[in-house]
A = this chain, B = another copy of it.
Amino acid sequence: MNSTASTDELPSSTAPLAGVRVVEVSSFVAAPLCGMTLAHLGADVIRVDPIGGAADYHRWPLTEDDESIYWAGLNKGKRSFAANFRDPQAHKIIRDLIIDAGVLVTNAAGRDWLDYDELSAIRPDLIHVQVLGRADGTGAVDYTVNAATGFPQVTGPENLDSPVNHVLPAWDVSCGLYAALSVASAVYRREITGAGTKIVLPLEDVAFATAGNLGYLAEAQLGLPGRGRFGNAVYGTYGSDFTTSDGARIMIVALTPRHFRDLTELTGTTSAAAALEAALGVDFRDEGVRFEHREVLGGLFAKWFREHTVAEAEAALDGTSILHERYRTFAELASDPRVTNNPMFQKIDQPRIGTHLAPSTPMSFDGEHPPVRTAPANGDDTAGILTEHLGLTDDEIDALAAAGSVRTQQKDNA
Contacts and interface: CB of A to CB of B under 8 A. Distances in A.
A182 to B, nearest CB: 5
A255 B213 CA distance: 30
Nearest to A145: B325
Nearest to A219: B61
Interface centre among A61, A180, A201, A211 (most CB of B within 10 A): A61
Nearest to A71: B215
A19 interface: yes
> In the complex this chain forms, how many copies of it are found?
2
Given A154-B167, A235-B60, A356-B218, A188 B184 contact: yes
Interface in A50-85: 55, 58-64, 69-70, 72-74
Nearest to A358: B212
B353 A222 contact: yes
A361 B199 CA distance: 11
Interface centre among A20, A168, A192 (most CB of B within 10 A): A168
Nearest to A357: B221
Given A61-B215, A251-B144, A362-B205, A170 B167 contact: no
A125 interface: no
Given A177-B178, A205-B359, 17 more contacts: A14-B193, A20-B188, A41-B181, A60-B287, A72-B218, A73-B215, A141-B253, A147-B326, A148-B326, A153-B329, A157-B162, A167-B230, A173-B210, A178-B363, A182-B365, A197-B365, A216-B333
14 contacts: A59-B236, A59-B237, A73-B215, A129-B363, A153-B327, A154-B167, A165-B231, A167-B230, A173-B210, A174-B177, A191-B192, A201-B363, A226-B330, A227-B330
Contact of A16 (B74, B141, B189, B213): B189
A359 B149 CA distance: 14
A143 interface: yes
Given A168-B166, A170-B170, A221-B334, A186 B327 contact: no
B73 A178 contact: no
B334 A17 contact: no
A388 interface: no
Interface in A131-169: 133-135, 139-141, 143-157, 160, 162-169
Contact of A148 (B134, B189, B328, B344): B328
Given A251-B143, A333-B150, A219 B363 contact: no
A273 interface: no
A353 B218 contact: yes
Contacts of A60: 235-237, 287-288, 291
Interface string A359-400: 111111111000000000000000000000000000000000
A212 B333 CA distance: 10
A260 to B, nearest CB: 13
